[in-house]
Structure 1
Amino acid sequence: MQLRFVGIIPNTPHVESPTIWLDEETGDVLIQSYKATEDEVKACQEIGSIPGHSTDVPDHETIIRLPKIMLKFLRDIEGGK
């Protein structure tokens, strides 16, 4: 796996550090960020996604909250920067 650091939340404290990396071999994005709260997960499940698709979150998946300020890093990846 060849990871490239993409960005970290600006002015991050030493103990909270949402970070984004790009797997340059697959193009996958790895994100360290805040866990969604139980209420946020329930809200996501209530809204759902596509008809007939389970709203359960499997044990090997999670829902995270990505701070708005970090969206620019995802746009940079999409733009090929």
Structure 2
Amino acid sequence: MIFSGKWARGIKNKFVVEMQRNEGLFPDFPIQNTLTQEIRKTASAKNNPDFLSLWSGQSPTLAKNQTVESLIQSIIAEAKKIGSVEAR
């Protein structure tokens, strides 16, 4: 959201951490994407990952704001469910 104005999974870097507290104030895509374009372009030219959009994963529309603990618990529960179905 911070770089593009769309929900997405990304690796936290300096820019994300610094801007996260104001995330609710950012405009939606494509405005936010345009506003951060020069920052990303300059960071890329200088090979500075602190100001790049470091996307991770796929299907950004499925991204959720959750803790790692919650994610891991969900994965374990799904794996147990799959395991119990396969055991039948």
Tell me whether the two structures share a fold, i.e. TM-score over 0.5. Answer: no
More strand by share: 1
TM-score normalised by L of structure 2: 0.21
Which structure would you say has the larger RCO, counting Cα contacts within 8 Å and 6 or more residues apart? 2
More helix by share: 2
Higher CA-based Rg: 2
